[in-house]
Each structure stands twice: as C-alpha cells, then as structure tokens.
C-alpha cells in the first residue's frame, strides 16, 4: 500500500517533495521543534526564514506543497491551511526578484545556414548534433523528450517520420503521444538528416537503446558508446551551443530556444491552433502562448484592423 500511495505522484515529484521536506526537517532539528506533525506557527516562521533569504515563490510554494503532501500521506492534519502560512505564500508572489529572461528563439534561416555549412559532412558527431537540433525545432521537443527517445520510438516513412513520446512533462499518466514530422525541401530537412544519422551510426530501429548517446573518438574512429546511456543535459547543451555559435549569437540561446523557435515559426505562419497545441503537447492556452514571439507583421495587424 505504501508503494501505491507514493505512485499518486510522479517519481520526479516524489523526489522533489522528499528533498524539500528534508530541508524542513533540518530546520526543525536546529530549532528544537517537530517536523511531523508540524505546528503551523513553526511552519510560518520557516517560510519567513526562507523569505529573509530572498527565496522565490517557486521555492515557497514547493515547500508548502511538500509539507502538505507528507502530512496527508501520513494521516496528519494539514498545517498549511493556517492563515499565516497562506498569507506568507501569497506574499512571496509580490516579493521583488530578478525578472524572467526568456531565451531567444532560433529561426529557420539560421538552421538552413548551419546545415549548409555541413552539407557534405560524414562526421558522426556533427550529424548527431544537427539531428538533435532539427528534431527539437521541428518536433517542439523538450530536452527530456529528446534524451528519452529510443531507437524503436522512431518510425520512418517516405514522406514523414513519427516520434513516439513515451514520457512527457504534460503526460503525467504516461499515456504517450506521437509527433509527426514531415519531409522538408532544404538542407535542414529533419527527415534526411535523421536518415543520415541512422546510416552513419549503424542504428537498429528495432532496438530499445537510446537514440542519442555520447560519442567517443579515437584516431579516425568515431562511434556511439556501447553502454546504453542517454546523453546528459550538459553534454547536449554544450554540443548544440557549439554548433549554433557558428551561425548566431548564443549568449541568450539554450536548448529551449529550439522548441520556442519552432513554435514561433509555426504560429506566425498560421498553423491550425488545435494541431499546434497537439504537436507541442501543451495542455493550456497560456503555456502555449508563452513560447511564441509574434512577428512584427502579426502585431501590426491589430491596429491595421481598426480601420484608422
């Protein structure tokens, strides 16, 4: 029963809540108070302590939800319903902090220019990096979706290919989804690039190993490592930034710039809203709109329609 109770949340949420609750336990041990069950006044003092350290709203809310969850799952009364706790949590939203600086979206022209530079390359490292870039851009992929792809998750047809997304941020119950990517007409065609990557890397599309793995180079040999180990976030970010730095300024560019770039180009070219949301696996309108940087032409249409 304990295992099933823990399955009420995802593994990542459980880990986050446990780590957050451990910090609360450490605070209680140093101040001679009880962490479970907690006194609401002690919890309010802890939140005030976090606010004094200039913790953000996300830290405060994670703390409140973690403590609430641990009390619920252990059958104790919820201390987070106290008015002091609720008002301190609300206060953290108003605390001045560094404004969010979103990453710059990548453009189609940038990717075409980059792929033109390596049009004749057969270097596995280069082709792997370009494949990851084009998949993230055309499939609106998050890094975790990209890194968790297995070879068997890729289904290739003459005019398109399908990516099976087994695990996604917005798919809490692991129902899975499919992303359909069409064949292109330029050097930045994701269909052609992924076929080239499969050929050079000698990938078996029936196997259940990770599609993108670290690469080792020895003299003239360049191969994927034998161990079934997915590419790390740091390794992917460094590899992709290195390629993009050849064609654009990467000071405000990250892995999410590719997802945002693909979404921006699709939105500004009038892609059907329902298909747009399904392709990017968004559940809400606000989440979807946060990725799109409207073009000047699209923004000017607002006042052009006023008939002035």
For the chain, give the percent of residues with pLDDT over 70: 95
pLDDT band at 172 (very low <50, low <70, confident <90, very high): low
Q: How far apart are CA 93 and CA 86, in angstroms?
A: 11
Give the model confidence (pLDDT) of 227-263 as tens digits. Answer: 999 999 999 999 999 999 999 999 999 998 999 999 9
Give the model confidence (pLDDT) of 197-230 as tens digits. Answer: 999 999 999 999 999 999 998 887 889 999 999 9
| C-alpha gyration radius of the chain | 24
The tokens describing 143, both together, are 């890094």
pLDDT mean over 150-155: 95
CB of 229 closer than 8 Å to CB of 209: no
Contacts of 172 (CB under 8 A, 6+ apart): 10
Q: How far apart are CA 259 and CA 16, in angstroms?
A: 25
Q: State residue 288's pLDDT score.
A: 73
Over 90: is that where the pLDDT of 6 sits?
A: no
Over 80: is that where the pLDDT of 168 sits?
A: no
Over 90: is that where the pLDDT of 296 sits?
A: no
The tokens describing 15, both together, are 């880990």
Stretch among 13-27, 130-144, 176-190, 285-299 having the lowest mean pLDDT: 285-299
pLDDT band at 78 (very low <50, low <70, confident <90, very high): very high
The tokens describing 49, both together, are 């302590």
Over 70: is that where the pLDDT of 126 sits?
A: yes
User: What 3-state DSSP class applies to 245?
Assistant: coil
Give the model confidence (pLDDT) of 259-280 as tens digits. Answer: 999 999 998 888 888 888 888 8
For the chain, give the percent of residues with pLDDT over 90: 66
**Structural domains present in the chain:** 2-94 (1.10.150.130), 108-297 (1.10.443.10)
Q: State residue 96's pLDDT score.
A: 59
């Amino acid at each position: 029963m304990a295992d099933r109770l823990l399955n009420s949340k995802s593994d990542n949420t459980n880990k986050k809540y446990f780590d957050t609750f451990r910090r609360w336990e450490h605070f209680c041990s140093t101040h001679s108070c009880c962490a479970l069950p907690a006194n609401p006044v002690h919890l309010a003092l802890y939140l005030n302590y976090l606010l004094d350290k200039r913790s953000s709203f996300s830290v405060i809310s994670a703390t409140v939800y973690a403590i609430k969850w641990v009390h619920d799952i252990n059958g104790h009364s919820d201390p987070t319903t106290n008015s002091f706790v609720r008002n301190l949590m609300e206060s953290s939203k108003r605390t001045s902090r560094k404004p969010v600086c979103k990453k710059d979206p990548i453009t189609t022209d940038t990717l075409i220019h980059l792929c033109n530079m390596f049009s004749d390359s057969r270097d596995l490292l280069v082709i792997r990096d370009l494949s990851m870039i084009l998949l993230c851009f055309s499939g609106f992929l998050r890094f975790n979706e990209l890194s968790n792809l297995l070879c068997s998750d890729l289904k290739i047809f003459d005019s398109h290919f399908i990516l099976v997304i087994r695990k996604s941020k917005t798919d809490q119950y692991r129902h899975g989804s499919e992303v359909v990517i069409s064949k292109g007409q330029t050097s930045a065609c994701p269909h052609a690039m992924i076929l080239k990557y499969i050929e050079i890397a000698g990938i078996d599309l029936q196997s259940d190993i990770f599609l993108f793995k670290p690469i080792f180079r020895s003299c003239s040999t360049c191969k994927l490592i034998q161990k079934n180990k997915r590419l790390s976030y740091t390794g992917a970010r460094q590899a992709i930034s290195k390629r993009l730095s050849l064609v654009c300024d990467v000071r405000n560019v990250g892995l999410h710039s590719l997802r945002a770039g693909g979404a921006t180009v699709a939105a500004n070219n009038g892609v059907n809203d329902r298909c747009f949301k399904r392709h990017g696996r968004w559940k809400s309108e606000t989440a979807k709109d946060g990725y799109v940087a409207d073009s000047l032409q699209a923004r000017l249409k607002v006042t052009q329609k006023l008939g002035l």
